[in-house]
Amino acid sequence: VKVALGNFWAFQQMYWSWVAAAVDASVFPVLIYDTVAHLTPTTLGALHWAAAWPIKAAISALLTIPMLFPMEITGFGNPPVTLTVGR
């Protein structure tokens, strides 16, 4: 983008890609929580929003942990996850 359109549009592309990735990643903890809450209406489904918020924050932290490590470490744990999801 920088070569074709210059610095301004290269920055715009980088910034909005980053914003889109952050917004996209923030949706997953809520989707996971809502799915589990729907499947267990008497336990998680009955929680007040103030009690559900720490659970969503914990899910977000759990999903963030693999991103903090290099690809060599994260990739080493990928085959067991693939086998679990693939079954």
* Mean pLDDT, the chain, integer: 80
| Confidence check: pLDDT of 13 > 80 | yes
Which alpha helices (DSSP H) does the chain contain, by range? 2-5, 7-39, 49-64, 71-76, 78-86
Residues 83, 84, 86, 87, CA torsion sign: positive
What mean pLDDT is predicted for residues 18-27?
Answer: 83
So what's the pLDDT on residue 43? Answer: 80
Question: Residue 17 — φ and ψ, nearest 5°?
Answer: -65, -40
pLDDT score for 81 = 62
Give the pTM: 0.59
Taking only the tens place, the pLDDT of each residue in 43-80 is 877 888 888 889 888 988 887 777 777 767 666 666 66
Cβ atoms 60, 29 nearer than 8 A: yes
